[in-house]
């Protein structure tokens, strides 16, 4: 054993702290994007749907009012099933003309 004093500048300690930082970043990414399921279904808010579809929240409201997009209203909260959004996009997909 050596009598070396281990400080923050020690290469092994720096590597250890870098590993912890990377691990914390990964955990933060997972928790930020985590959406619990209810009955195996994920639900999205109007803000999340409008961001994913690249439309305004007002346009999303127009789609709801026009019956073009399925939604669930609980009190003042509007939720969308992720599977409904995916299905709507797949049904509206227009392939190439040949």
For residue 87, what are the domain limits?
A: 43-92
State residue 95's pLDDT score. Answer: 75
| Residue 55 shares a structural domain with residue 76 | yes
Higher pLDDT, 60 or 36: 60
State residue 66's pLDDT score. Answer: 94
Q: What's the pLDDT tens digit per position in 39-83?
A: 788 899 999 999 999 999 999 999 999 999 999 998 889 999 999
CATH assignment of the domain containing 52: 1.10.10
Q: Is 77 exposed, middle or buried (0-12, 13-18, 19+ CB in 10 A)?
A: exposed
State residue 98's pLDDT score. Answer: 62
Helix axes 82-92, 46-53, angle to 10 degrees: 30
Domain contains 98: no
Domain contains 2: no
| Residue 54 shares a structural domain with residue 27 | no
Does the model's pTM come out above 0.85? no
| Residue 55 shares a structural domain with residue 18 | no
Higher pLDDT, 35 or 55: 55
Domain contains 67: yes
């Amino acid at each position: 054993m050596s009598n070396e004093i281990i400080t923050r500048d020690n290469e092994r300690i720096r590597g250890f702290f870098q590993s912890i930082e990377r691990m914390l970043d990964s955990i933060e990414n997972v928790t930020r994007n985590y959406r619990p399921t209810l009955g195996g279904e994920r639900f999205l808010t109007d803000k999340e749907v409008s961001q994913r579809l690249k439309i305004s929240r007002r346009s999303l409201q127009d789609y709801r009012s026009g019956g073009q997009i399925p939604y669930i209203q609980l009190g003042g909260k509007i939720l969308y099933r992720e599977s409904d959004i995916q299905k709507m996009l797949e049904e509206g997909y227009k392939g190439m003309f040949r």
